[in-house]
Amino acid sequence: MQQTYLGRSGLVVSELCLGTMTFGGTSDLEAPRRIVDAFREAGGNFFDTADVYQGGRSEEILGELVAPYRDEVVLATKAYAAAGPGPNDRSASRRHLLKAVEASLRRLGTNYIDVYQIHAFDPTTPLEETLATLEDLVRSGKVLYVGVSNFVGWQIERAARIQERRGFDRLVSLQPQYSLIERQIEFETLPAARTNALGVLAWSPLAAGFLSGKYDRGDSGTEKGRFGQYIDNLSERSWRTLDLVRELATHYGTEPAAIALAWLRAQPDVVPIIGATRPEQLDASLASVEVELTGEERARLDEVSAPEVGYPWDFGTVSGRPPRDLAAPPHLLGP
């Protein structure tokens, strides 16, 4: 597995990140241990969790498993969602974040968090308050880098301008949902992230398992596990995308998941977050680093999975094209 820089920072991370949301879902610790070991043996050093995953148990297990080599790995966690019954047990407020970071440090068994992320935009807390708190955490050494998750374009841009104006450490990452099935972030959110040089940590890169190829047309999602209901509302475009993913998987002698992840890996500054509940489920995801899609294959996947474009994104000047009845200004025509 190759290494890359996270956003504009000097932090080196593996080209895949291991998500640990399922750690702690059962009392079995052997499966998480084998998953972490397999990921590290493949060259992975980047792990993602959150304070609310499995009621905090995910952080505890991850911290225990990486304790022997803590300084060799990069740990990312998140805060915002409800971590208790009280009115101040959630949000991106100073009070909640200061309490949440201490709890995450304790559960992870570490004195610093490599990447601390706001799990979602908080409309009830001034963004200046949130960013000032993150700056204080960086200054204290408890947090090394900061990022956001599930922000849209204008929220990213506003955060970046506040940090620029106040002289704060800048965001280094965005964690959005992104896959061949969920590409809507390409309209506004992804351009905002790239304009501000954020690394993109793609969650649900297999679209809740759909791109692993375990579903077929006509299947009912109600009997397909934790996210099975996801498939009940999929469009024909999604099924055509899966057909092509399966075709390419056969061509490469690999699993559909490896093709879907290879497409994501080919996107600039994108690190897919992979996950598994059993060690063998990790094999197809790890195999993706051996697949290098050709330009033609990426173009075919781009075309078949392209999301429907509506206003204002289909309007000529937004897309960079002049209206149909106007010629392009001379300075845009090029040589």
Residues with active-site annotation: 53
The whole-angstrom separation of Cα 150 and Cα 157 is 13
Q: Which residues pair with 199 in a beta bridge?
A: 173
Torsion of CA 142, 144, 147, 149, to 10 degrees: -50
Given a contact cutoff of 8 angstroms between Cβ atoms, the answer to whether 110 and 75 are in contact is: yes
Distance CA 65, CA 270 (A): 26
Q: Locate all alpha helices (DSSP H) within the chain, ordered by sequence.
A: 30-41, 57-66, 94-108, 127-140, 153-166, 189-195, 236-252, 256-265, 282-287, 295-305
Cβ neighbors of 207 (< 8 A, separation 6 or more) are 179, 180, 181, 182, 230, 238, 260
β pairing state of 12-14 and 113-118? unpaired
* Cα pseudo-dihedral 294, 290, 303, 311, rounded to 10: -120
The residue behind tokens 């000529």 is: 316
- The string of DSSP codes covering 278-295 is SGGGHHHHHHGGG----H
Cα–Cα distance, 322 to 297 (Å, whole number) = 30
Query: Rounded to the nearest 10 degrees, what angle do helices 57-66 and 30-41 cross at?
Result: 50
Q: What does 55-97 look like in DSSP terms, one character per residue?
A: GGHHHHHHHHHHGGGGGGSEEEEEE-S--SSSTTSSSSSHHHH
